[in-house]
Structure formats: C-alpha cells, structure tokens
Amino acid sequence: MATANTSEAPVLKVENLRTYFRTRWGEVKAVDGVSFELRKGETLGIVGESGSGKSVTVLSMMRLIPIPPGRIVEGTITLDGEDLLQLSESEMSKVRGSKIALIIQDPMTSLNPVFTIGNQVTEAIRIHQDIPKRSVMEKALEVLRKVNIPAAETRIRDYPHQLSGGMRQRVVGAIGISCQPLVLIADEPTTSLDVTIQAQYLKLLRDLQQESGMSLIFITHDFGIVAKMCDRVAVMYAGKIVEEGSVRDIFNKPSHPYTEALLASVPKMEEDVDRLYAIEGQPPLLHDLPVGCSFADRCPYVMDRCREEYPPEFPVDEGHYSACWRLA
C-alpha cells in the first residue's frame, strides 16, 4: 500500500463537481457536488453500486463527457495547480495522457481493432514525449515489458483480437503508464482478469507507483482490492460521496448506513449462512431525486429529518467524514 505525504499540497483537487445529462425523462444528476483531494503517491478507492456516479466522475476529470447530452455544470478540477475545466480542448489534449491517464474497464472498447498494439502504444509517446523517432518503438517495448507482456518484440506487431483478455488489459495499462502521468485512473481494471493474473496486475501497478511516485484512483466493487491497494476510500451513492476516510476507518468504523450495508454484503468465509445479505430496495432515479437523503428509503435508521433535508458532511475522526444525520 502506498503512503502519501499529507504535508504536501494535493496533486489533484476536485471541488463541488456537478455533471448532468439531459434526457427525455428529465435532467439526470449523475455527479452532484463531488469533492476530494489526492496527494502524490496516494491511492484513492472509489466504491459504490453501479450507477452511483463513479465512472462519470473520472470521465469528467478527463473531460471525456459526451456533449450533448452531458455537461459539466459546476466545479473545479485542479491538477498540478491548473484547473482542467478552464483549458481549451487542444490544451486538454496535451494534459490527457501525459499528466492524467485512464485505464478503461473493457480493453476491447478502448483498443482500436484495426491498429497494431505497437501503433496504439507509441501514439501517446509520440504525442507527449520529445524523444527521437527511432527511440519511440524502444520506449513502447520497454513499457510492454514493464506490464509483463511475453515476447513483446512479437506482440507489438499483433492486433488486439490476437491477444487474450488479460494481455489486452495489460496493453491498456501500458498505454496508461507510457508517459508517466501524475495521476493514473483505473476504472475496474481487473474485470477481465482471472484471479492469478489479477494479483500480478495489482502488484505491477503498486510497483510502478512506488517507482514513479504517481497517484492512483481505483474504481472498483471489490473490497479486497480496496484493502490491498488503497490508502483512502470514497463511498459514492446517487451521484454524491456519502462517506470518505482511511481504509482502516471505513472497514473498522463505517459511519454511513450505506457503507455499513456495502460491507455487510461482502461474503465472509468464516460464517455459515443460509442466505447472503443484500441491500433492500433500489437506488433512486437520478432524474427524480428525493429532497432529503437519497438513501432514506433503504436505510434502517431513517428519521423524519432524513426525508426533509440532505445531510452535510459530519466529521467522524480526523480525515473521516460521513453525510448522515445520525452524527448531528
């Protein structure tokens, strides 16, 4: 697990980010007031059910939201002292890949089937790094070897369909790290990997982080990955961060009912139960959010106040916050 220097200024700071989508049903508030910080060498895990806003948050940070129907309504995204939302598209294209990079969940949708692996790995290097042309391919081979692609000299001439799912995922990782970004975002990076390769891939990312000092954002449903890889955790529900704290605090002292429910949903090998725990009900419709807490209809501790007003963030411990009226 990485250890960030908390005395340093954050390399990434997201404040009050709001990203909405216009649909025929109404305005969908996919990201609704998200704020967090990330320091050099730190790993932040973002967890939550599908549709909670995790991927839209990081796509907003990368300025990859399709316009229309999406739009970033409000907020600031400060990377290395520069607000990404104030950059032109040409300026952002220089930042994307060099200072902040994204490993997408499905490698088959992020790799172009008509170009070789070599074409796709060298593209970012050619655009962002000022090195001689003859050295570009050598650099590409170097990053492919870093992600443990066997026979990289041969595979660099292959097309995506000629590789296994695990190898494609490692190629996407190679593209992400090729320009040594300050921040690497991994959106469910182990989905297509079997357990053995998953462990190798996570170790690889951890080793690369220790070597380069880059910061990591992990989007995942897997609390095992969170425990193994992350320093801090942000729990998202219905477009908002409902709890944030260190891994130790979140696992040992969850303070939001949704966090408690997520952790209770993880099967425990030492327990013999007839039926696994599941969170009752469904998340709210993002185009028709309730006035109060979005989790109120599924919460076992719900009070009248929960349905009338959305709770602010209450401090639980140092660096540990939770948006729940029980802490008022």
Domain borders along the chain are: 12-99+181-277, 110-180
pLDDT at 148: 82
Q: Is 12-99+181-277 a CATH 3.40.50.970 domain?
A: no
CB–CB of 100/62 below 8 Å? Answer: yes
Tens digits of pLDDT across the chain (328 residues): 444 555 578 999 999 999 999 999 899 999 999 999 999 999 999 999 888 999 999 999 999 999 889 999 999 999 999 999 999 999 998 898 889 998 887 777 778 899 999 999 998 888 888 788 778 888 899 889 888 888 889 999 999 999 887 788 888 888 888 888 899 998 887 776 777 777 877 888 888 888 888 899 999 888 888 888 899 999 999 999 999 999 999 999 999 999 999 998 887 777 777 777 788 888 999 999 999 999 999 999 999 999 999 999 999 999 999 999 999 8
- Beta-carbon contacts of 261 under 8 Å, excluding residues fewer than 6 positions away, are 277, 279, 298
pTM attached to this predicted model: 0.88
Element (H, E) at 184: strand 183-187
Structure tokens at 24: 């025929």
In angstroms, the CA 293 to CA 122 distance is 47
State whether residue 177 is helix, strand or coil: helix
> In sequence order, which ranges of the chain are alpha helices (DSSP H)?
54-61, 89-95, 107-110, 117-128, 133-146, 152-155, 165-177, 195-212, 223-229, 247-252, 257-264, 304-308
DSSP 92-159: HHHHBTTTEEEE-S-HHHHS-TTS-HHHHHHHHHHHH----HHHHHHHHHHHHHHTT-TTHHHHTTS-
